């Protein structure tokens, strides 16, 4: 069953690029990897989803190596408002349980 | 477009009292539905999920139960609340057809005193 592991916290400065890596060694063949952002007292918000190689949208990029055992969320030129908890999510089990890992607290400093 | 409604936004309940939180989804049919709980400063804990009417799977043995009486309605209940039931409760839905993407409600902050 796929389980995700992420760094607990990261600090960055405004304007820098931030890369958050998630490991998911037991990801199933057909599963996608999805990243969410959560602010305090709010539900997580979808950021990006991918299956392999690279996916880019207006807010982030997602890099997935060929073995798909990890993925890296890349946030270009972060601002103070990007301070949040970031989760990667991989479905667990045939019943499609969507269980979150511990997430990464990103703190952007001025 | 799809929307998810969750209420109430905040709730203060005494220990031993019952609980009923309701969540409804509009604009889609046969969604997968989820209840999560988040204790203060902690991650999201999956409590229940449902792939159809009357089909409930529980992730963690606890003082809570869930029901899905209609396709787009998901209810979280308790007969007697415990102090440890305090937390931020989130309902979510997904299309459930391979590329699961969760859409969350605004959450209920429950304080059990």
pLDDT tens by residue, A3-59: 889 999 999 999 999 999 999 998 888 888 999 999 998 999 999 999 999 999 999
- Is residue A63 within 8 angstroms of chain B, CB to CB? no
CB contacts, 8 Å: A91 with chain B: 100
pLDDT of A95 higher than 80: no
What is the per-residue pLDDT for A1?
Answer: 55
pLDDT at A26: 86
Asked if A98 lies within 8 A of B43 by C-beta distance, the reply is: no
Q: What is residue B63's predicted lDDT score, i.e. its pLDDT? A: 87
* pLDDT band at residue A94 under the 50/70/90 scheme: low
Q: Count CA atoms within 13 Å of residue B81 on its CB side.
A: 20
Count Cβ neighbours within 10 Å for each residue of A13-41 and write b for 16 or more, e otherwise: eeeeebebebebeebeeebbbbbbbbeee
Residue B23 has a pLDDT of 96
Mutation site, A31, A88, A96, A105, interface B, largest B CB count within 10 A: A96
- What's the confidence (pLDDT) of residue B83? 95
pLDDT at B43: 87
Q: What's the confidence (pLDDT) of residue A93?
A: 65
pLDDT-flagged residues of chain B (< 70): 61, 97-99
Q: Distance of CA A97 to CAs A22, A33, A93, B1, Å? A: 18, 14, 6, 25
Dihedrals phi, psi of B32, to nearest 5 degrees: -80, 140
- The shortest CB-CB distance from B43 to any of A45, A96, A100 is to A100
Nearest to B101 among A41, A49, A87 (CB): A49
Residues of B in contact with A34 (CB under 8 A): 100-102
Closest partner residue to B90 among A43, A91, A97, by Cβ? Answer: A43
Across A82-104, average pLDDT: 84
Q: Is the pLDDT of residue A2 over 80?
A: no
- Position B40 scores a pLDDT of 87
DSSP string, chain B: --EEEEE-SEEEE-TT--EEEEEEEES-SS-EEEEEEE-TT--EEEEEEEEETTEEEESS-SS-EEEEEETTEEEEEESS--GGG-EEEEEEEE--SSS---EE---EEEEE-
């Amino acid at each position: 069953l796929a389980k995700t592991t992420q760094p607990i916290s990261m600090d960055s400065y405004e304007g820098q690029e931030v890369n958050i890596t998630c490991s998911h060694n037991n990801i199933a063949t057909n599963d996608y990897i999805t990243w969410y952002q959560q602010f305090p007292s709010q539900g997580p918000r979808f950021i990006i989803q991918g299956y392999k190689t690279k996916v880019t949208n207006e807010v982030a990029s997602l890099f997935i190596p060929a073995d798909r055992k990890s993925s890296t969320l890349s946030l270009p030129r972060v601002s103070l408002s990007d301070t949040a908890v970031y989760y990667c999510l991989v479905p667990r089990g045939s019943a499609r349980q969507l269980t979150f890992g511990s997430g990464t607290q990103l703190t952007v400093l001025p | 477009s799809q929307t998810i409604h969750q209420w109430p936004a905040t709730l203060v309940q005494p220990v031993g009292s019952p609980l009923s939180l309701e969540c409804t989804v509009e604009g889609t049919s046969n969604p997968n539905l989820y209840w999560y709980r988040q204790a203060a400063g902690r991650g999201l804990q999956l409590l229940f999920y449902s792939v159809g009417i009357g089909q409930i799977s529980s992730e963690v043995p606890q003082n809570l139960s869930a029901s899905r009486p209609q396709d787009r309605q998901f209810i979280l209940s308790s007969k007697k609340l415990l102090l440890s039931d305090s937390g931020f409760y989130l309902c979510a839905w997904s299309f459930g057809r391979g590329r699961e993407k969760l859409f969350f409600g605004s959450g209920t902050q429950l304080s059990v005193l």
